[in-house]
Amino acid sequence: MPTPLIIFVIIAFVWRISTVVISTINERALKASGAREVGAANSVFLALAHLVFYIVATVEGATRTDVNFTVSEIGFVIYLVSALALISVLRSLGRLWTVKIIINERQPFVRTGLFSWVRHPNYFLNIIPELIGFALAMNAYRTLIVGLPLYCIPLVIRIRQEEAAMSEAVPGYR
């Protein structure tokens, strides 16, 4: 695997691990203040799907003998834009942001930043582009074609669970 791709994979894994650390800190604080988790089993499945997508795309990219660096560069840019979207989401949600659905009785309806334009920016502007960008950067076309639709199954379940939980907890959410 070419050195730029190795560096990209390392940075991508470190980035994702750092967001999980932020999520864990926020989750503990939210639960300590009485918040409850919704859809725990699907959250585990979604996290595993994310990890498997990264690993399979990395393996596919590592075993390629012909890397199209133009496609890799497009993937890098998409991945970077998705990371910037996540930073915006983190700024808007602050301590409410987790990789799980954690709801409290005083759950605010956030309408700032990307949330003023898109209902679920973390999913549509971060996660989906992140996976597309990662796969393209690695020239992992099979992973993209097969893995992304499979990943969308627990993601759609997550969005439905989150919509239901927010509708119940936040007046005026719908």
Question: Domains, the chain, ranges and CATH?
Answer: 3-169 (1.20.120.1630)
> Could you give the CA distance from residue 57 to residue 71 in angstroms, rounded to a whole number?
14
Number of H helices, E strands in the chain: 7, 2
Mean per-residue pLDDT, 116-133:
96
72: left (phi over 0), alpha (psi -120 to 50) or beta: alpha
Question: Taking Cα atoms as reference points, which of 105, 134, 153 lies closest to residue 11?
Answer: 134
pLDDT, position 169: 86
Overall size of the chain counted in residues: 174
The band of 31, judged by pLDDT with boundaries at 50, 70 and 90, is: very high
User: Which amino acid, one-letter code, is at 147?
Assistant: G
Mean per-residue pLDDT, 67-93:
97
The band of 119, judged by pLDDT with boundaries at 50, 70 and 90, is: confident
Mean pLDDT of the residues in the chain: 95
**Non-local CB neighbours of 145 within 8 Å, separated by 6+ positions:** none
Model confidence at 160: pLDDT above 90: yes
Reported pTM: 0.94
Helix (H, G, I), strand (E, B) or coil at 168: helix
Buried b (16+ CB within 10 A) or exposed e, 43-56: beebeebbeebbeb
